[in-house]
Structure 1
């Protein structure tokens, strides 16, 4: 694709209302019919486009959020059917991430002060002639019905100002404003390869009622991300206001966790039959408060529209325990809500940033649930761009890195464990899931740069015990106002993560033929591993004697066989002493079940998974959650919201346990990248009588289902063409099977817990 002209345009006299831009022109004559017409658009902000009144696409929030300093997406659509002898290109611009409020410090327009739009319509005629119309000073500008728009605060639409005539030929725009060019380096416009943001579904109102304070509240039944479409008629000038929130507190809308985000849409009626869709914003919500409704409230006039990046669901899990099924659903909905243009930590409050640590631990789960390769590979481009520009040369803790513009009061950190490790862990998860070597190769400069920054951050002892670290963030025993104060020392966590990163880089470098790097990273791995064992391991006990320390040491392979078993036994003792309640944070939680199960404590892993008292995964389920929470007790047992300032009800990081559910409960995992070889190793337990998982691998459908009936375990496996599977069933030797459907039966003990 050749970019003809990189000039963006903006109104000569901008206002807070969303700008409208239009250009009318005639097709070049004498060249026959139009064979193809392609519209390419972009914006500093958001852009919605029409050609002769026909939307150029059904995408939303385009061109999305990237590291705007170096890369602004250029989206392309076929509009052949829309062009005519006289044609109008029409654009509406929104603030989006570029100019709206951003981050948690109360600042806006951190990237730039004005919105600007770009359009390039390329028309190819039957005789090969090409006509190109681009944004230039011949365009005209005005404003319409969108009086205000912001991702955090919401959108104000005045239907009295609505009209579509400006999108069509022969509209009189003589009173419209002139435009001016906004210079943009052509090299910043990058063809879009990420999945678009679209409407993904709808929910009707499940319940509506009047709150104790007299407010009309509605419940859509699912914590989701998007907006409410409203169909309403009433007197002109009537203002209907919708406030959004994830939860209720004291039977009122629970808005305190939103902090500065107003999450409020204001809809001003035209006097006719109005339909409102606030498409220049999004909210994280399950509930809405409706005020100003004309006449008797009609709940059927509202629909919650789910919005997110269009990621195909490829994996599923189900079992005999309904609460585990709800937990898995919560994980999926947490991912769906936070995978919107970039992978964010939360979608509702004044933050919504691409925190790298959340994704580092969640990437394997994400890669099973959906086809996230292009989505995350595109994000990794920005990770590397931000790293190169960072004054420390380290991976940013959020990407795109808006924090560098915010007055956070904290210096830019150097290399960080888990958060920075996303540079290695995420590409490796993509390689493992999809087997696309090019994705790994594209990320290799980032991966190797991060690993070297870790090497440079080590102390002379070989430990990573210097510099800022998040550590085992949100350890449930940490004070509400100090979420980084965990039982596991940050040096233990960071050093273990450094070992894992170096180990993965040895494999990556060998795979890509970078033998000198493989040798370098092997030396680093061995140095860090030796230092960890020397300073942190004492006769199988790991420094701090915490569940996270044991989980990381066991799963990352830091211990010899004797110490590994002792560590596993000690971990099981700690888990039992905690009443099988969670005692780990961001770093340890994804790995604790594996650490238990692989050291002979499967029953404890299941007891941890199935615990219903806080802190636990199922506590939120018992409290009615439909997404994963940020804190184990984001809502307290009495129904009040956790008093901490940092409380989200849609935060997918702790949902990383679904990866263990896929691999160990159902029993499907990759033995080779892209599931060319599949490990089928179900580990029944926890009183479950059946479990199943399906996965659309690069080779086709892989599936596992097991059932316990009486004293018999039945396992059915589907192996796709081009793959083979290794069946690792209890009490039997490994068996390799070819593509097709295979059924095996085993005898089990009468209690259904232990297998013979």
Structure 2
């Protein structure tokens, strides 16, 4: 019996419109009988429904298999099919065709130039956005049409009065000077024979809007708002008509008088003109555009899905304040904006304000710092209208509505959840509702902070791509979502923004940080994202291409920090954030942790050097791999000599110090067991309360588990007093907090300046939940081999995990009934697994569904080796 190809993908996604590479890699999943293995694959290329080329590749790989044909040309469209042959000689049917279409791959493909308003704009201020448009004619029947579009700022395009696409905040945020994404839209159904019109709304976005701390900065990338677009229409006679942004376009002030990511949007509906992007619309107020410059070599196709609205949430409760405004509770701290349906007289203003928490029944907005988070719409009269802001987002659970005409109806307001529209790939469930809620909190913080780039928080005047936050959280994120494209794109900006000496900025894309963060210094944990985050993408998605692309960046970082450490291999100088936001740190100094910051820095020096050596081996750079491997061992020995006593104690007698030493392999053998025993003692002495910050949180529970203290790891994760993960759940948190005590036990908000209720970093514990509670973790790149090692504890009676790996669904589910432990695991074709039962039994498994039972004993895990 043969296998069946079930899911043929191009690069990391199903959508292959506007690809930015001439040689896209292919992946597929298989369904087949027990024991079936792929021996080779035949790939067919089709044009116009006709097969034009085939290639047979002798490989057992199913993930990111290299393109076997000639390079795609710009705009080239094709279909791809595969069929696989097994080691038994059986051949699958051909898969359905997957379409492939290249974008504009060469700078010479671009005729378009950025166009925008011609009137003078004062730099460094909030300026009124503009709209741009152009009419054009098509003489012939339309066969197909593509719009390639981007902007200086953010944009929404319209064709003949219809919005193009459903993406939000495009083109997103990159290091614009060197990488500006464009999107490709199929607009065949929107263009017509005869008269047409195209236009775009523009907003400040990240390009010229206020960004950064202490009031922020305007115009970081330019003062202009400009649209850059190329509409290409194929007619039935073979003619290609190109309508590109140039000096034939015109501009006018937008009905949006202000738009900012931090501060919200102001829109006067009295100034709206529904026909502005239709042919024959009124030309009053429209003036010739100014044409600006853009090097087409900086235009790149996206590697990730766009930001979209992925869910709508109705308010769960509402009440009227003493001032007459209405407060809405959506029951979930989310990221997005409100959509309202309202009917009122012309000129009436309706104001929407946002906040994550309440104090005494009112919005508590101090934690937003200098972000106004306020949207204002001026009604135009003439009946009901549905409105939402276009170019802003807010982080909020609560919203206040002021100025509503007449009686308020909560059904007239909905919260629209916005984030990068990644495919969800991971689930977790167990018998403890609080632990399940904690996992949901991690999920929601991922959604809220994956808005085009991985940010620290989504609500205050910051929202930056902090490198350390994603470095510690990337393994968890990669289980929950297919974030390979998004993080791969972000890593390219990291490399672009890296200083010539190898220093990695604290946040990417890089913006001025003011006196606290300028000049940029090399900091452990944060800068190590250059090495460790590409490795995570290799480990979780099997993408060696990311390792190759980021190699120079990773090597530059390791060479820099080795130079900082010097011949003694100890990194004990310079500015360090250390175990940031350790709960023992004072509110005004989050870096003042229990663990020596230079112990943290030297541990990461080893860990990144070790991973750079491993990266070199994957890339076939064996000599460099051997060199960095030897250096890593020198660092490990130096760490042991400086920061341990040789008997399992570290100089910083703290949870983070032991967690890093154990999980990074800095102590071994009997010393590792002694270190694990001491870590368990520290957790017990702390009443099972957590005592780690960003650096220690991902490693403390795994370190306990590694050294046989599974029960203590459960005690730690299930503790409910402050500080702990479940304390946030008991306090009503629906996302992960920046501080363990962002809200104090008395219900008041922590007075620290850095107090956010939506930060994912401390949610990195979810990776332990997946691997240890559910028992599901990869043990070879791309989940080609899986380790099933659930370790029940904490009074749980059942738990499960499910992950959509590149090869297909992987799952683990266990239950305890009486004295019997039962585990069910499932693997897709192309993978193998190791099952480690709590009683010490180890079993090899191939693809398919397998069930095991053993005595329900408390697991005893051997000492670390």
Is the pair's TM-score, using the shorter chain for normalization, greater than 0.5?
yes
Residues matched between the structures, number: 747
CA distance in 2, matches of 1:740, 1:39: 45
Aligned counterpart for 1:397 among listed residues 492, 506, 513: 506
Quote the residue 2:116 is aligned against. Answer: 10
CA distance in 2, matches of 1:290, 1:83: 39
Is 1:103 the equivalent of 2:212? yes
Quote the residue 1:225 is aligned against. Answer: 335
Q: Counterparts of 1:534-613 in structure 2 under 5 Å? A: 534-538=641-645, 539-613=647-721
CA deviations on 1:56-80 (whole Å, 9 max, x unpaired) are 1011100000001211111110111
Structure 2 alignment gaps of length 5 or more: 1-103, 122-126
CA deviations on 1:700-749 (whole Å, 9 max, x unpaired) are 11111000111111111111111111111122431111111111111125
Quote the residue 2:536 is aligned against. Answer: 429
- Cα drift, residue 110 of structure 1: 2.1
CA distance in 1, matches of 2:860, 2:339: 52
Per mean C-alpha deviation after superposition, the further-off stretch among 222-231 and 394-403 is 394-403
CA distance in 1, matches of 2:221, 2:861: 59
Quote the residue 1:76 is aligned against. Answer: 184
Quote the residue 2:469 is aligned against. Answer: 358
| Contact 1:702-1:718 at 8 Å conserved across structures | yes
Is 1:284 the equivalent of 2:392? no
* TM-score, with structure 1 as normaliser: 0.97
- Cα drift, residue 127 of structure 1: 2.9
Quote the residue 1:126 is aligned against. Answer: 236
- Cα drift, residue 545 of structure 1: 1.0
Quote the residue 1:688 is aligned against. Answer: 796
- Cα drift, residue 505 of structure 1: 1.4
SS at match of 1:98: helix
Quote the residue 2:812 is aligned against. Answer: 704
SS at match of 2:485: helix
CA deviations on 1:567-600 (whole Å, 9 max, x unpaired) are 1111111111111101011001100001111111
| Contact 1:394-1:420 at 8 Å conserved across structures | yes
RMSD: 1.5
Is 1:367 the equivalent of 2:367? no
Structure 1 alignment gaps of length 5 or more: none
CA distance in 1, matches of 2:650, 2:702: 17
| Contact 1:694-1:702 at 8 Å conserved across structures | yes
Quote the residue 1:23 is aligned against. Answer: 134
Q: Counterparts of 1:247-396 in structure 2 under 5 Å? A: 247-271=357-381, 272-387=383-498, 390=499, 392-396=501-505
SS at match of 1:715: strand
- Cα drift, residue 663 of structure 1: 0.4
SS at match of 1:305: strand
CA deviations on 1:360-396 (whole Å, 9 max, x unpaired) are 0000000000001011101111000001xx2543111
- Cα drift, residue 459 of structure 1: 3.2
CA deviations on 1:472-516 (whole Å, 9 max, x unpaired) are 000100010000011111110010011111111111111110112
| Contact 1:533-1:558 at 8 Å conserved across structures | yes
Q: Counterparts of 1:585-734 in structure 2 under 5 Å? A: 585-734=693-842
CA deviations on 1:654-713 (whole Å, 9 max, x unpaired) are 000000000011001111111111100000000000000001111111111000111111
Quote the residue 1:52 is aligned against. Answer: 160
CA deviations on 1:178-227 (whole Å, 9 max, x unpaired) are 21111111112112222101111100011001235553200011111000
- Cα drift, residue 112 of structure 1: 1.8
Cα 1:521–1:6 shift into 2, 3 Å: farther
Cα 1:753–1:531 shift into 2, 3 Å: closer
Quote the residue 2:297 is aligned against. Answer: 187
- Cα drift, residue 558 of structure 1: 0.6
CA distance in 2, matches of 1:392, 1:639: 47
Aligned counterpart for 2:268 among listed residues 158, 161, 165: 158
Per mean C-alpha deviation after superposition, the further-off stretch among 10-19 and 513-522 is 10-19
CA distance in 1, matches of 2:852, 2:130: 65
Quote the residue 1:498 is aligned against. Answer: 605
SS at match of 2:582: coil
| Contact 1:6-1:189 at 8 Å conserved across structures | no
- Cα drift, residue 54 of structure 1: 1.6
CA deviations on 1:220-256 (whole Å, 9 max, x unpaired) are 1111100000100011111010100011112210100
CA distance in 2, matches of 1:110, 1:730: 56
SS at match of 1:165: coil
Q: Counterparts of 1:203-214 in structure 2 under 5 Å? A: 203-211=313-321, 214=324
Quote the residue 1:197 is aligned against. Answer: 307
CA distance in 1, matches of 2:772, 2:519: 39
| Contact 2:707-2:861 at 8 Å conserved across structures | no
SS at match of 1:108: coil
| Contact 2:112-2:246 at 8 Å conserved across structures | no
SS at match of 2:520: coil
Q: Counterparts of 1:393-472 in structure 2 under 5 Å? A: 393-403=502-512, 406-472=513-579
CA distance in 1, matches of 2:785, 2:293: 51
- Cα drift, residue 754 of structure 1: 7.5
Cα 1:439–1:393 shift into 2, 3 Å: closer
CA distance in 2, matches of 1:118, 1:682: 53
CA distance in 2, matches of 1:6, 1:342: 27
* TM-score, with structure 2 as normaliser: 0.85
Higher helix share: 1
| Contact 2:325-2:403 at 8 Å conserved across structures | no
Quote the residue 1:745 is aligned against. Answer: 853
CA deviations on 1:155-185 (whole Å, 9 max, x unpaired) are 1111111122111001131541221111111
SS at match of 1:465: coil
| Contact 1:250-1:640 at 8 Å conserved across structures | no
